[in-house]
Amino acid sequence: MSKLELSIEKKALQWINGDYDTETKDKVHSMLIDGQYDDLTDAFYKDLEFGTGGLRGLMGPGTNRVNKYTLGMATQGLSNYLNEQYKGQEISVAIAHDNRNNSDVFANVTADVFSANGIKVYFFDGLRPTPELSFAIRELGCQGGVMLTASHNPKEYNGYKAYGPDGGQLVTPFDKMVIEEVRKISDATKVKFNRDESLVKVIGADIDQKYTAELTKLSLNKESIQNQKDLKIVFSPIHGTGGVSVPPILRAIGFENVTLVEEQMVVDGNFPTVVYPNPEEHEALTMAINKANEIGADLVMATDPDADRVGIAVRNTEGKVVLLNGNQTASLLVEYMLEAWEEAGRLDGNQYIVKTIVTSYLLDKIAESKGVTCYNTLTGFKWIGYMMTKLEGKRTFILGGEESYGYLVGEHARDKDAVVSCAMIAEMAAYYRDQGSSLYKALIKLHQKYGLYLEKLISIKKTGKSGAEEIKAMMDGYRNEPPKTLGDSKVVMIKDYQSSQSKNMTSGDTTNIDMPSSNVLQFYTEDGSIVSARPSGTEPKIKFYCSVNKPLAQDDNYDQITGNLQSKIDRLMQDLIKG
């Protein structure tokens, strides 16, 4: 960019001349003097907003960056919202943070602002996983909470997840109400940064013990764990909070042969051993898989920095350690848990599971076979939490899951929980091993029973203001000129969650979609494939989800049919992206 827009320059000068710390002013001034116009534009062209995961972005100075001031303004807005919503009442919040650079600093800034606004703060004494924060909000009877994390994003990012009194992330209309309060704050001078120490209470071991105790109650097969307590497990927290909570819960439920990836047990916000601290990526699990091969382990598990997602690897029928994707793990968990509930005589038609609309519809089939309701929600685990709160006391929740490696077992929290997921996945592995089987064999059997479902996610990164405009143009294009065929199969239905309309492309009939509006499109083909497109709510990306399926007989070649389905996915995605 050769010239800076006047609106951007005006914002930059406000920060240079405003009530900001010297380091921040100097950084903005240097960017302006050095002609870093692209960086300045990206830093100031908009204000950070709540997405599916809250407030998240690159760290640095600017209105579109995560820093003391943008987080302070967000917290001031949230404080104003809470003081208005609970006028005349004693208000409390819980705050936790992960291992990211500046997470502890931002957590303290957040506590400063809440307490300065007369709100009591329960402040964790060190890093803790996101699900434990959700648990703490419920346990302590708080009206809200904040988790300082950018989940699985690269090291340059940080963020802020805002929670409501149920322990779930804020959903519409409450997130919008908070945003409106934040927008009323024109600059950082409107933020109360002076901490009231009398309102800040440090918490830690007491909540840890209650959280672990709650999770141990969820075990379904203590006998299998006892029989297979020597199951070889490799675990890595990828430098994050999972190292605090996962090893203790595995010990608590009875596993005695857990090997930790010591290099990745080191708490470090630079994530020195990985390119990207995301358990969805093969590279992030490389060290753990190498350790598994070294010691002959049966199961590999790795959690993301704030321990709400978990990736796993298991041995296939040839003894090779292979990664499972989020849909496969979710399917295994649903089948295992519903079978266990059925065997225990606990299914009476009042139970339910929850998944998102971009998560495998194999979960729907499994639930249907057991007489269990499967609710579908918008993307983002906050909607699963919302459904749980809506049905609390009316129906019995078993499990929630989404394709992006996030699962929740039990009602102790309202967010995805990799800690309890690790416990349940390990128990599941022990159960199948006790039956002379394995997780991989169980997966094949599952597909023989319900059909071989295969899914893939493709993300295309589009950064900055121009990137946001490109993503908007792509979504507009799909709406204005939707594809007629995908992968040589006719598109028979299109669901537009933004207009809340589902259209039958053969008859032209439309029906309403009973969900909040969201910028998501789904294309259903004649042969049963589903392709979804949506902009990410937390990253500068447009995401494409593809799901295909085919019946699988016992004598079919599993690997060959999987390969055929993978080729089919590639054709579908090429048609959509190139089209």
Residues taking part in catalysis? 151
SS3 101: coil
Q: How many CA atoms lie within 13 A of 533 on its CB side?
A: 23
DSSP lists the bridge partners of residue 491 as 525
| Amino acid in the structure at residue 78 | L
The separation between the first and the last C-alpha atoms of the chain, rounded to the nearest angstrom, is 30
Of residues 454, 164, 155, the one with CA closest to residue 304: 155
List C-alpha distances in Å: 221 to 72, 227, 254, 347, 551. 46, 10, 11, 16, 31
Sign of the dihedral defined by the CA atoms of residues 296, 419, 432, 254, in that order: positive
Q: How many CA atoms lie within 13 A of 434 on its CB side?
A: 16
Name every residue whose Cβ is closer than 8 Å to that of residue 59 and which is 6 or more positions away in sequence: 65, 66, 67, 101, 102, 156, 157, 158
CB count in 10 Å sphere of residue 416: 28
Instruction: Please answer whether residues 381 and 400 qualify as being in contact, where contact means their C-beta atoms are separated by less than 8 angstroms.
Output: yes
Name every residue whose Cβ is closer than 8 Å to that of residue 340 and which is 6 or more positions away in sequence: 220, 221, 431
Tokens standing for residue 393: 């006391």
Tokens standing for residue 21: 């710390």
d(CA 240, CA 267): 6
What is the spatial order of strands in the sheet that 351-356 belongs to?
Answer: 373-377, 351-356, 396-402, 406-409
CB count in 10 Å sphere of residue 461: 11
Name every residue whose Cβ is closer than 8 Å to that of residue 19 and which is 6 or more positions away in sequence: 187, 188, 189
